[in-house]
Amino acid sequence: MARQLEAAGPAGEEPRVRLERLLADGTATVAVLGLGYVGLPLALTTAERGFQVLGFDTDEAKVESLNAGRPYLRHVAADRLLDLLAARRFTASADFARLAEADVIAICVPTPLTPQREPDLRYVAGTAEVIGAQLRRGQLVVLESTTYPGTTEELVLPILERSGLACGTDFFLAYSPERENPGDPDGSARLVPKVVGADDESSAELAAAFYRRIAPAVVRVSSARAAEATKLLENVFRGVNIALVNELKIIYERMGIDIWEVIDAAATKPFGFMRFDPGPGWGGHCIPIDPFYLAWKAREHGVTTRFIELAGEINARMPEYVVERLSHALNARGKPVNGARILLLGMAYKRDVDDVRESPGFVILDLLTRLGARLSYHDPLVPHTSAMRHFAAFAGLASVPLDQSILEAQDAVVVVTAHSGVDYELVRRHAALIVDTRGVFRGGDSHVVRA
């Protein structure tokens, strides 16, 4: 059986010693499971550091595209992929039997929420089952997917140990949270320190040895739970602070104060202040998800996360606030939402990315559709909408051009995502009403409404 085999090495070489040697000389083969926004950059960075990398995904169209040198993520350069393919450092595959070839296996699969806002770990569990079926002595498995403290120990470990192999001696298991920042070229996996935690010393040392080869620094913590908790803290911190400035935006609007002017002024303080900007709601795969993972796990320990859940309520309500502000602005101009022509400017969840996961733009689109608005959108990075878990009805929409005739035909334009490549001066000149959720338009234009 594959689980009983080890790669060629000195006779009697222990699994840990063998893997240490492979990591030290750069001859280990690394498998990355899940080639999305986290897995693909990790796979390419690892290959660039000299390792042989197998990238696995269940989507055969993705596999075919990558092996043909066509990256499907905007921030992944085709030349980068082509160079690695030519050097035979990277190969994509949907054949999971090849996992037996790997010495290091990184799990980078989604961790969404159920409709009841509880952790949905079916992708992690399913991936662990696939790995367990191929697991052999001397392999290191690292979970990178964001999740609640205890997942590695309570879910992944028991599945892998069904193989009959023992963690810490036969195989090794660790947790190291992904720290990708899409849209920020200086925040890639190549430049950010990696947090590593495991529940036995051998696993922790081997994981740290691997990541030292591909990251500028490794931060070891005492356990997998501590590493899992670190990632949740990072994202809960952002979610809570985003909720704070969103609530201040509403308060200051009632007082006639420009929240962005206030934030700009506060940001000049060189200590004791960290800038967060308000918006139409939270988006992406991490910040809208992770607080609920922690809240769910906290309830298991009899703790109510009131502060965190309140922040979630505030952020989740922001699309409704945007629609309310739009409705009032249209009403003041004698126009109901029902039948109004409204252009949403930006559908991605974040500036200068093509990622629409959990984007508040789709919530706004849904709310306005229910009110009878005639909607269109422009997003230079999202030419077409694809099928989404919660908004399947909006699959197949196409971005309209942004020109004078389009703008003048609208009753309102709502700035949802402030991409840098948009001609906002054109929008200012030709839109009858602008609802600005991102602070793009500064000044006293009478046709610009903050939201």
In single-letter form, the type of residue at position 244 comes to L
| Strand, helix or coil for residue 351 | coil
| Strand, helix or coil for residue 297 | helix
- With CA atoms as reference, report the closest residue to 418 among 399, 436, 404: 436
Cβ atoms within 10 A of the Cβ of 261, count? 12
The two structure tokens encoding residue 399: 């971005």
In single-letter form, the type of residue at position 76 comes to V
432: left (phi > 0), else alpha (psi -120 to 50), else beta?
alpha
- For 24, half-sphere exposure in the C-beta direction (CA atoms, 13 angstrom radius) is 7
Look-up: residue for tokens 């909607």? 375
- With CA atoms as reference, report the closest residue to 364 among 267, 250, 282: 282
273: left (phi > 0), else alpha (psi -120 to 50), else beta?
beta
Q: Can 286 be counted among the known catalytic residues?
A: yes
Using the Cα atoms of residue 228, residue 229, residue 232 and residue 237 in order, give the sign of their dihedral: negative
**Which 8-state DSSP code applies to residue 400?**
P
Are the C-beta atoms of residues 383 and 402 closer than 8 Å to each other?
A: no
β-partners of residue 106 are 32, 142
Instruction: Give the length of the chain.
Output: 451
Out of 121, 286, 416, 431, the active site residue is: 286
Question: Which residues are known to be catalytic?
Answer: 286
